[in-house]
Structures are given as C-alpha cells and as structure tokens.
Amino acid sequence: MITSFKNILARIDPAWRTALGVFILARLFYFLWSLAILVIYPLAVQNTILFGKPVLTAFDLTANRGYVYNRQVVDKVLTFRAAGKGVMDIQTGSLWDLVTGKAIAGIYAGQSFLPADQSAEGVFPYQGESADNTPILAVWQRFDTNWYLKIAQSGYSETDGSTAFFPLYPLSIKFFGFILGNNLLAALLVSNAALVGALVLLYKLAAEYLEVRVVQRSLVYLMVFPTSFFFFAAYTEAPFLFLVLASLLAAKRKQWIWAALFGSLAALTRLQGVLIFVPLIYMWWRQTGKRAWMQAIILGLIPLSTLSFLFYTRLSLIGMYQNAWNQTLVWPWMNIWAALGRLMSGVGTLIDMLNLAVTVLFGILCVVAWYRLPREWFLYSAAMFLVPLFRMNSMQPLVSMSRYVLVLFPLFCLLGKWGQKPWVNRLIVYAGFLAALYLSAQFFSWGWVA
C-alpha cells in the first residue's frame, strides 16, 4: 500500500505535489491554531489609551460581539483581565459584566462603567456588515475583510474610504457568495484557491531560473513568514500574487495576450497592481528587441485598467487617502525615519518594530536581488517594495509593510538560496513559525497587525 501511494505521488506534477503539500500543512496549522484560540482565549481583553483616555476593549470570539468602556471608575483607572464571560479588575478583584457594563461582585458591585468616546463599531469595524455566526469562519472576519464584504454587498461610496479597495476581489466575492449564500465563506474560498494556484505558478516560474531544492525552500519560507496568515484570510494577497505570477509566467513563455490579461486583472485587484507593467515591458524589450510594437500596445491594457477604475471613482483616490486614511505622500526615507523616531521616543509598538525590521530586511534583499536574480524579478521587487513607502500614515509610519512584502516572491526565492546554509534555514523557519503564532493570534483577537 505504501509503495502504491508513493507511486501515485511520483506521477503527480512536482509543482502541484510541492504546492499542495505546503498549502495543506500551513492551512491545517492555522485551522488548528484558530480553534485553540477560540478554546483557550475566547475573550480578548485589552487595556489601552485611545485619544488620550483610558479604555477597556473586549471582544467575545464565540459570540462575535465587542465592548468598549472607559476604564476610569470613580477616581481610579482600573486594569482588567478576562474572567469567564466577563472581566475582573486586578486592583480589587471585582467582577464586571460586559453586557450590562456593571460590576456584579466585589467592592465595586453595582457600579457601572462610564461610556467611552469610541463605539464598539469604531474599535471593531465591521463596516456595517453582520458578524458571521460560525466562530471558525468569524475569526477571519477582521479589518480589511469587512471592507471587501461591504463593497460586495452594497458597492462603493465616494465618502467612506471604500474606493481604496480595487474591484476584482469584491466582485469575485459577490459572484461566489451568490452561489454559496455566504459572502465570507466565498471570500475565504477564493483566497485559499488562489493561494494554491499561486504556489503552483511560483514553483513553475522559479524552476526556470533556480534549482528545485531552492524553489521548494522558497515556498516553505513564504508559508512560514510571520504574516503569511493573510494569504488564507479574506484579503487580496493570494489572488494578487496568483495573477502576478500568471502574468510573468505567460510573458516568460512569450504569450503576451495572456500576460496582458492577467496583468490587467492584477491591476484591478490592488493599486500596486499597475506596477506589473514595469517588469513586463522590460521582458518585451529584451525578448523582441523593440520590434513587436503590437505586443507593447497590448501590455498597455494594464495601466488602462487602473485608470478605468480611477475614472470610475472620479479620481477621488488621492483625496480619499488623505482624508479617510490619514495618509500623505512623502519620500521613502521620511517614512523610515518617522518609524524609527516612534520607537526611539518610546511610543512605538511591537508592530512598529516589526514593520521597520521587515522594511530594512527586504530593502537589503532588493539591493542584493540586482546582482543575484533575473533583472525582471528585481524590477518587480523594487517597484512593489518602494511605492508603498511613498505613503505615510500619520498614526503609524510604514503601516502594513509586513503584509505588503508577502507578494515579493523573488526575495523569498533569494532567501531560499541563502537557506542552503543550515543555520540560515533554522533561523528563518523557527523565527517565522513563532512570530506567526503570535501575530495570527493577535489578528484572530482583533489585534492590529498589518
């Protein structure tokens, strides 16, 4: 029986065999980990400061309900921890009911929380969408996911910031959600299916440049990266990476119509998608010697796709980023310097540190890629890495850089080459795995990661 199973595996295409193996292990890990969080940490409690005031935030992962209260009771600022379905202040041991907002036992019995300036929707933003009733699905309904669900359900608005999210992914959610009857389930299935496809295409594309062992390590490193759980979430990382790889692989094989089609779809998936035009036009120039102008014109569909969406939203993107998302245009080094300043002043967080570390690491990898990787891979990596650095969020410089680098597949291939050294391989796998445990738990519990 074992021999027959091995024979069956041997007949499967190596790209599919490796991709499915890596995907299944990672998917199983995050499934079991999310179950563990639901069991051992069902109530996420945070004592924080919001807009200068002490606030208690709590989210019940099993009931999918959030609570926000002022932590100042009478003349004291209390600190709370989870206690069953409620919370307990550590100063007196009084028990507080989150639903009623009152102390039910202890010296504060009968005392009520003061309301916070922020609503639960403001802290746990569902964008008007209902929380899913299935906890194992609902733990993935976080942050940007709700924007995509909102757009799929009710479309865009020029005033709420929704035009920051490009239309292809919400449209796919709407289509498959109509079939399945559940938009969140549809979004997760689209992302997971796209991830399998992306891993297969990454193997096929990378195998044309690199040794098989390097390619296999690259796929593993991508899946153990600390923020890799975004590939499985209802985010655009997996669909975008799939479309980018499909476009580059088609261009490598001189299938320019397919390269333009997949590139155009990538440009309709996220704002940075238009940058796929840069490596593609270089590949056209190198392969055709500037003779086949019709192919270059076909590639022009990519920026045209981005422009079509911008015109559809009445060119509101820049003003929307400034007003709805608190972002301004800066030079990349200003973004890095602002992040460093936050950390040195003591107001920075672990996420700030992660974003800065990832930015420095992948910046170094981009430089090395110029010498060690195909030129089109360098152009893709440099463009995708640098452009987000021109936008700075006033509240968190380098915001989401730890997520944006997930699509920089050439740099993971570069790590795959370095991973030939055992100590490098252990460092990447062990550090990535441990960080992924912590960051995914934060995400499931409504903690901001990227």
422-439 pLDDT tens trace:
999 999 999 999 999 999
Give the pTM.
0.94
For the cut 90, the answer to whether the pLDDT of residue 173 exceeds it is yes
pLDDT of residue 289: 66
Domains, the chain, in order of start with CATH, read 44-123 (2.102.10.10), 144-336+350-444 (no CATH)
Measured between its terminal Cα atoms, the distance across the chain in Å is: 46
Nearest to 56 by CA among 85, 79, 39: 79
CA separation for the pair 115, 112 (Å, rounded) = 9
- 13: phi > 0 → left, psi -120 to 50 → alpha, else beta; which? beta
Per-residue pLDDT, 106? 94
- Six-digit token string for 54: 């002490």
**Inter-residue contact 356 to 340 (CB < 8 Å):** yes
Give the pLDDT score at 143: 96
Cα–Cα dist 95/86, whole Å:
7
Distance CA 162, CA 149 (A): 11
347-406 pLDDT, tens digit each: 889 999 999 999 999 999 999 999 999 999 999 999 999 999 999 987 899 999 999 999
User: CB-based burial of residue 372 (10 Å sphere; 0-12 exposed, 13-18 middle, 19+ buried)?
Assistant: middle
Cβ-based neighbours of 132, under 8 Å, separated by 6 or more? 64, 138, 141, 182, 184
Q: What is the pLDDT of residues 42-82, one digit of tens each?
A: 999 999 988 889 999 999 999 999 999 999 998 899 999 99
